[in-house]
Every structure is written in C-alpha cells, then in structure tokens.
Structure 1
Amino acid sequence: MGISGATPGERARPWLLVANVAIGWGLFTAFVLHVVSGRNPVWDTLSSYALAEGGVGLLGASIIAIAVGSVALLAALKAAGHRLSRTTQVLFWAWSTGLVAAALFPASYPERFDPVSGQIHEYSCAIAFLSLAALGWTLPARLRTHPAIMRLTLLTLGGVLLFGVSYLMPGVLPVGLSQRLALAADIGLLITIARAVAVAAPVPAKPRERVSS
C-alpha cells in the first residue's frame, strides 16, 4: 500500500516517532547537563548552566532537540487529519523558534557578558513560554477537551505565571525550581498531545448499499 492509501494514523506515525525521540533526547541531554554541571537546580536557571564546562553545547542540543520534536508533533497533528487553526500553528512555530533562538543566543552573565545576546535570549524564552501556555486553548475541540490535555494546559499557564513571579521577584520563590516546574508542564503537554494523536480515530463504517430487486 502506498503513502496515498495510508490511514491518518499511519501517516502520523513516523512524525510521532521523530517527535518522541527528539523530545526524549532533549530530556536526556538536559539530565546529563544537570549531572555534570554541579549547579543548584533549585536556585539556578537552566540558562546559567551554559557557564559550566561544555554547558553551551549540551544546553543548546537539549533545547534544539525539543524544538525539533515540537515541529514534528505539529506535522503529526496535520498528518492525523486534525484541522488546526492558524493561531495553533503560529503558536507551535513561536514556541519552537523561541527555543532555537534561546539556544543560539545564550543568556548574559558577568562571567560571559554579552548584553545583546542576553536580551535576545530573554525575549525568546518569554515568547516560547507564553506561546505554549496559550497553545492548549487553541487546539481542535477533540484534543482541547481531552481531560489530561485540559489539566496540563492549566498547569502550563500556572507554570508560566509562577516562573514570571519568581523571575521578577527572585526573593519570593526559587527561580530555578519554578522554571523547571513550568518546563515540566510544557513537556508534559507536548507528550500528552503526542499520545492523544497516537490513538487512532475509529474508522466510520460504510453504509450498506441497498440492493434493488
């Protein structure tokens, strides 16, 4: 059977594989970065891990892998036959592009001072976080009303608000912890959407043709 005759589930499967592998690789790379950096995950943001030896490469690889997985998930949604609004597609691309820009332009610190790169990094992160916080609300109704997706959509919104408060008032909440909670909600939402897409839609039965006597 050719590609043209494949079911939506079959067409989406390769994209889902790419999405899961890329996001999984991104999480694994982030785990390795935490192990080798020696920094405090409660108080230190992920951006500061670029200051560790080899941190720029590991952090960039992790972020870009998650961005690639997100684009693959968007392709999987389309291949599975979900009708996505322009807003949904723009938010997917804003999230992914924001991640890539944040990886290519590290944050600025006294040890590695680059205010232009730092500003680009901050704005890119803000765009990425806000885009994914809004994404769940714009999905097609069949996905948007999925119980797990609904819960994680609320968590992504809560996560970005929590991170915003800790970033603006660092003495109130540990900024590193709040950032990781927000990212955990974001990744959880992406993985849950992928799992929902992986469940093939039932094929409606064809009506029986009446045989004329």
Structure 2
Amino acid sequence: MPGIRNNGALALGGIVLAALLTVIGHAGVSDLDPVSLTVSDYAVSDSGEVIHVAMLLLAAASAVLVPTLGRLDRLRSDRPAGAPAPLGRGGRAAQWLLGVWAGGLLVSGLVPTNPPGTDMGTAAYVHRYASVIAFVALPIAGWLVAARLPAGDRAGRWLRALTVASLLLAVAMAWSAYPGDRAYYGLIERALTLAEVGLLTVVAAYSSSWSISWRAASVTEPERLG
C-alpha cells in the first residue's frame, strides 16, 4: 500500500518543517526566558507568529497519519498470511486519539494565549485546555500503536519509551504549574514537546519506511527498522 508510505513521508516533511519554524520563532525573540515561559508565550511575542504556523503545520502532519493507523493490524507478524485484519478497538482508539491531538494543536494554533504578565481571558483558557488535551492524547495513542506493531519491533520499543517519557514529563509539568510555583515550567514543556514530537516522528517514519514489503493480495512481515 503506497498510500501508507506517502502519508508517512508527507507527515515527516511537515514535522521537520514545523520544527524548523519553531526554532526560527525562538531565535527571533531575545527578551523572554525559555526556562520559565512556554512555547505559546513565545508565539504571542512580536516575532512569534511563525510558531503558530508551526502548530498548524504539525496539526496537519498529524491528521495525515490518522488513516494509516487503521492499516497497522495488517502488519502484525502473528497473523496468518492472507487472513483478514479488522480494525480492533485499540486501532480505532489510536486513530481517535491521534485525531484529538491534531485537533488540539489546530485549536492551539488558531487561538493564542495571553501575553506573559497579563490576565488570562477566554481565548487563553481555550488555548490552555486544548493543549492539555493534546498532550495527554498523543502518548496514549502512541502506546496503542506500539501494541499493534509486530512483536519485538524497534519502532514499538521507541514508542513505549517515548510514551513513558511524555507521561512523566506531563506529571512534572502539572507539578510545576501548581505546587511547584511554575519552576522550570518552560523547560519542562519543551522537553515534553520534544518527546511527543519524537513519538509522532517514529509513527511517521515507520509508516513511510521502504523496508515494508507489500504483495498484491497480502502483506508480508515488515523488516525490522534500522
């Protein structure tokens, strides 16, 4: 199925471009502290609009990957060749959660937060909770995707490791936001973002891998990545 590869390659390109735009958006700001302030705080700075573009681009790249998750069951090595591969609950849940992540990013990119040091308005709360939902949804989706890959696959191990890292960083971020008096809040958020974008990259790279060999009527076991 070349469609899976095409979607994966397109998503990879979007992820790389979004990362580049985010770096550019940070480089153009010199009066904010990345250790204490979030990426969203940078996005509402005078030269931070490019970060909103990066969020929207990452949302689009994520949405492109949603259909590919419906076909991962066909790659399982423990299914007899030619046997039907219906999409189970885990596959549907992974698709839905990846869609939630993409939707949360879309809302975050379209609805900016408040500038640092000002009171939060309705838009800022919408931005915050859309981001929270997205950050929680993606690691769970990653774990479900890992469970549907062939046993022992390297991509599955990476997905599980990045899922655990993301959830631990999310807990650290919640601690910083409340009892921690926002200590290292921006730094923790960037680490969390890096882990989750890494997770998304693994899904895209696996989907686009040319090591997956397809036959006309059935799918052979993917070769181990790397």
Report TM bin, short chain.
0.7 to 0.9
Deviation at 1:87, TM superposition (A): 1.2
How many residues end up aligned between the 2 structures? 197
Give me the identity figure in percent: 22
Which of the two has higher C-alpha Rg?
1
Q: Is the contact between residue 69 and residue 95 of structure 2 (CA under 8 Å) also seen in structure 1? A: no
The normalised TM-score by structure 1 is: 0.82
Match status 1:133 vs 2:139 = yes
Deviation at 1:109, TM superposition (A): 3.6
Task: Map 1:12-23 to 2 at 5 A.
Answer: 12-23=4-15
> Residue in 2 aligned with 1:155?
165
Q: Is the contact between residue 70 and residue 92 of structure 2 (CA under 8 Å) also seen in structure 1? A: no
Q: Is the contact between residue 143 and residue 193 of structure 1 (CA under 8 Å) also seen in structure 2? A: no
* Root-mean-square deviation (Å): 2.6
Instruction: Determine which of 96, 105, 111 is the counterpart of 1:105.
Output: 111
Q: Is the contact between residue 20 and residue 69 of structure 1 (CA under 8 Å) also seen in structure 2? A: yes
CA deviation string 1:24-78 (max 9, x = no partner): 11101100011001122111111111332132x2121010111111111223344
> Residue in 1 aligned with 2:82?
none
> Residue in 2 aligned with 1:65?
57
Instruction: Determine which of 21, 24, 32 is the counterpart of 1:32.
Output: 24
C-alpha distance in 2 between matches for 1:163 and 1:113:
21
Structure 2, unaligned runs of 5 or more: 76-86, 218-226
CA deviation string 1:168-200 (max 9, x = no partner): 234363000000010011001011112222334
- What code does the residue aligned with 2:144 have? T
> Residue in 2 aligned with 1:88?
94
Q: Is the contact between residue 20 and residue 191 of structure 1 (CA under 8 Å) also seen in structure 2? A: yes
| Greater helix share, structure number | 1
